[in-house]
Amino acid sequence: MKVASPRSALLLLLLSACAAPPAPEEREVAPEFPNAAALWRLERYRDERGEIPDRAWERALRERAAVIQAAAAQPENAGLSPLAWTSRGPSNVAGRARSIAIDPRNTQRIWVGAVSGGLWKSDDGGATWSQTNDWWSNLSVGCVTLDPQNPDVMYVGTGEGHWSLAHLSRSVHHFVRGAGVLKSTDGGATWTQLASTASWQHTTRIAISPTSSQILLASRRPGGLARSTDGGQTWTDVGGGIVTDPFSYQVLFDPADGTKAVAHLAPGSVATHHVITSSDAGQTWQLAASGLASVSGESSRIELAYARSVPGMVYASTGASGGKVWRSTDGGRNWTLRTGATNLGQSYYYNALWVDPTNANLVVVSALHVWRSTDGGVSFTQTTDGYIMTVDPHLDVHAVVADPGYDGTSNRRVYVATDGGLHVADDILAAARGTGWRDLDATMRSTQFYAAAGHTSGDVVIGGTQDNGTLRLVGASTTANLVFGGDGGQVQIDPTNPQYTYGEYQYLGVHRSTNGGSTATQITSGLSDVGSGRSNFIAPLRLDPNDPQRLYAGGRSLWRSSNPRSGTTWSSIKADVGSLIASIAIAPGLADRIFVGHNDGRLYRTSNGTSATPTWTALDDNAGSNPLPNRVLTRLVVDPSNPSTVYATLGGFAFPNLWRSTDAGSTWQPVSGATPSALPSAPLYGLAVHPDDSLVLYAATEVGVFASADGGASWTTDNDGPANVVCEEISFAHGAGPRRLVLATLGRGVWTAELRRPTAVTYGSACAGLANPPVLAIDPAAPARLGRSAGFLGSSLRVGTPGAWLMLGLSNSSWGGIPLPLPLDPLGLTGCELGTSIELSLSAPVDGAGGSRWDLALPADALLLGAAFYGQILGMDPGTNAAGLVTSRSLALTIGY
């Protein structure tokens, strides 16, 4: 086949332009201090009245859905797209899980519920994992249950209610709130929310009758027990009248008798815990007659397990008196203490129980560690001594489940769910401290991050996590290394030398690494606010962007270290005002300007922050000067391009939750947008201002990530981001290269996104001597974005001519060996030039105003990100020259998100 030369191809295009009008273009259209972590989150939930409105989460999710719908008509999302986000893991450290389910037909298929990271599935015995659905209305999985008669029928109860917060708020007892029960009838391929359960905050267990799959029992907090006789479509509250404001951690059917059931029950005050029983399939309930009819204390949570090999035998594990085991031989009516003086350490937070289905004397109890008894609970042996990334299970064990094929001899495999994911003992009788256990976390990316920071040098991300320490990820690897233990908190990376990194564990335990995060040491000498009650559980920590030799930390006071790279001492530079410091910001370019926000909404500024004793001005004192709502100031961010522009993000399920000052904090205006393109009425935890465009903002909220391209006037989001997950912090990575966002999620690990925004730059010349040559521009609402249609606009075209062409190419320097720009005088286009190669041409009619439009669908292929291409108009203009054709200036485009 003979290939035409570029010059002859152009001539053919010119001839076709003269010969025929164009047709219209067809457009393609385990925490270390579990209560403390929950209390810290609770503090950030409250509105100005200290309350959390009824159905606050449902409202926030509805508002988020409205933003998604509005965004479909306004696709600009400030450079974020499905392809922008990259999961950085970690793949070797999972987050907290409380539930395990195994398919009895295929024991290689395991389901694990992450408390804030969704439902995970493995088809290879835990070697690899995949998430079930990123966009459930709620990714907090409290329990997973398979129908024993048809395992394709599955139930997921959402929400995690295993906290002891009754003394503070009866409305909130959770780390992440749930949204009722989800059901699948096709083995987990598709899911439906059971509408009658949508208001359930925490569904702790779901039990299915062994004789009728339609009869279900659910334990809830709050709400106690509920019963369904139609597979979950409708529910009736049961067990009422026994305690006030009931809640329940567990309910079980007798596996051999569907008429019998046993459950835990407690009042909302959490002052007592009770065992209750039913003999009519859960319709009516009675207190146990003796032993565990009532035990006192918030930590006295009761877990229950039937001994399948002995009819009527039930074991109970309770946190009362340091952790005890009881046994009943009459279905839970009467109980006998088994453990005597032994204390196993169970509590409201960690407590799980399993009994060998073939041997009623083999009992496993889990608390901080896993304990085994071979004498019916009289004595126990500790079988684990784990920590972060150890062979033994992580501390804080929440569920114990046996392989469905467990037979007590050839198969003694038992799984445990912990604050660090899933572990297995292939022989529970042989497992011991340091031996017999395997970690099954690979690719289960459910880690709960509180904060993260990044640097493009070495492609490093470091973040603080719930009970999995401070972790470091480098390059393409999703395998993290442990920098420091405990509950990791805020992280800072020296922008000028990323070998120096700073982090903290709970309550302001600041640490420093001098080797890029490989190891770290504590640096808290003189920092007297370290410890419970003197700082927030996750306290603010900030490096001065003007001088990385100044590090600030917030507790009751504001603390400064003036030599953090090598020193370990601190000085207090702001007095205690009676409310803990929640946020710190230092103005780029103006080191003396420091802003400090408090839990009660008070805000302070200093203009001599580098002095030994800075002077502080109250910008909001909650009294005479009170421009901001009296909620937690979760984050303060100064515009990197303007030290007088500062943003304040607020907690609380209220609106508005983002405010801006353009006069260094003297006056404030809300910038949360307007319906339907507004930020939801939900806590806002983080904000990033684009370093190159101050109008571009990114917000991390309780209900996902949002972006604004107009300074907060309107906001967008979609179902293409990391997941429908709590987002704790968002920031720009330090270093050279494309701008990169770093996102810390509470349940889906840490993510990064390179923000390559599309560009369009005019170059070259139009036809010389023309007063009004054609003009080519990109539609600002349809730039060259991956997976979208780019819109090209032509103007100043000759009205009355049948059409015009858009010439598109991949080079503006040569075409088939011919240098560009190419003079077109020999072709009769006097004074005109060709500025692009021609690989594609699009035609469009000219309207009555001299305009044309061409649309080009761009593939959603990440390999095209940053690619350049070029365009130029060829229009009809009879009489202007011998050819009757004219050209515009050329347009250079780069493809972005």
Per-residue pLDDT of 293-336, as tens digits, reads: 999 988 899 999 999 999 999 999 999 889 999 999 999 999 99
The pLDDT tens digits for 805-817 are 999 999 999 999 9
Helix (H) or strand (E) holding 869: strand 868-876
So what's the pLDDT on residue 872? 99
What is the average pLDDT across 268-293? 95
Domain 66-83+448-643+674-753 fold: Methylamine Dehydrogenase; Chain H (2.130.10)
So what's the pLDDT on residue 723? 84
So what's the pLDDT on residue 301? 93
The pLDDT tens digits for 226-255 are 999 999 999 999 999 999 999 999 999 999
- Is the preceding peptide bond at 773 cis, omega within 30 degrees of 0? no
Cβ-contact 736, 850 below 8 angstroms = no
So what's the pLDDT on residue 298? 82
The position carrying tokens 């800075």 is 614
So what's the pLDDT on residue 437? 98
pLDDT of 169 above 70: no
* Average model confidence (pLDDT) across the chain: 92
Model confidence band, residue 18 (pLDDT cutoffs 50, 70, 90):
very low
Q: Return the domain boundaries, the chain.
A: 66-83+448-643+674-753, 136-251+261-287, 758-894
Model confidence band, residue 2 (pLDDT cutoffs 50, 70, 90):
very low
Cβ-contact 509, 501 below 8 angstroms = no
Class of domain 758-894: mainly beta
Q: Which of 33-47, 105-119, 550-564, 688-702 has the lowest mean pLDDT?
A: 33-47
Q: Token pair for residue 651?
A: 């907690």
So what's the pLDDT on residue 36? 84
Distance, in Å, from the CA atom of 348 to the CA atom of 51, rounded to the nearest integer, reads: 24
pLDDT of 19 above 60: no
pLDDT of 556 above 50: yes
> Radius of gyration over alpha carbons of the chain, in Å?
32
pLDDT of 720 above 70: no
So what's the pLDDT on residue 175? 61
pLDDT of 804 above 80: yes
Q: Which of 20-24, 93-97, 186-190, 880-884 has the lowest mean pLDDT?
A: 20-24
- Is the preceding peptide bond at 780 cis, omega within 30 degrees of 0? no
Cβ-contact 816, 852 below 8 angstroms = no
So what's the pLDDT on residue 173? 46
Percent of the chain topping pLDDT 90: 82
So what's the pLDDT on residue 755? 85
pLDDT of 595 above 80: yes
The pLDDT tens digits for 834-848 are 999 999 999 999 999
DSSP state of 269: T
Distance, in Å, from the CA atom of 223 to the CA atom of 237, rounded to the nearest integer, reads: 8
So what's the pLDDT on residue 309? 98
- Please enumerate in sequence order all residues whose Cβ is within 8 A of that of 318, keeping only pairs 6 or more positions apart, or say none: 273, 292, 295, 300, 301, 302, 303, 324, 325, 326, 346, 351
What is the average pLDDT across 694-720? 91
pLDDT of 73 above 60: no
So what's the pLDDT on residue 7? 41
So what's the pLDDT on residue 134? 85
- Please enumerate in sequence order all residues whose Cβ is within 8 A of that of 50, keeping only pairs 6 or more positions apart, or say none: none
So what's the pLDDT on residue 76? 52
So what's the pLDDT on residue 896? 87
So what's the pLDDT on residue 77? 60
Cβ-contact 147, 210 below 8 angstroms = no
- Please enumerate in sequence order all residues whose Cβ is within 8 A of that of 778, keeping only pairs 6 or more positions apart, or say none: 758, 760, 784, 790, 791, 792, 793, 891, 893
The position carrying tokens 């010439």 is 807
pLDDT of 136 above 90: no
So what's the pLDDT on residue 250? 97
Model confidence band, residue 3 (pLDDT cutoffs 50, 70, 90):
very low
Model confidence band, residue 23 (pLDDT cutoffs 50, 70, 90):
very low
Closest-CA residue to 460 (of 490, 500, 421): 500
pLDDT of 277 above 50: yes
The pLDDT tens digits for 81-96 are 655 789 999 999 999 9
So what's the pLDDT on residue 828? 97
So what's the pLDDT on residue 14? 38
Model confidence band, residue 33 (pLDDT cutoffs 50, 70, 90):
low
Model confidence band, residue 171 (pLDDT cutoffs 50, 70, 90):
very low
Q: Which of 107-111, 397-401, 712-716 has the lowest mean pLDDT?
A: 712-716
pLDDT of 730 above 50: yes
So what's the pLDDT on residue 11? 37
Model confidence band, residue 1 (pLDDT cutoffs 50, 70, 90):
very low
So what's the pLDDT on residue 8? 40
Phi, psi (degrees; rounded to nearest 5) at 754: -85, 125
Beta bridge partners of 870: 809, 892
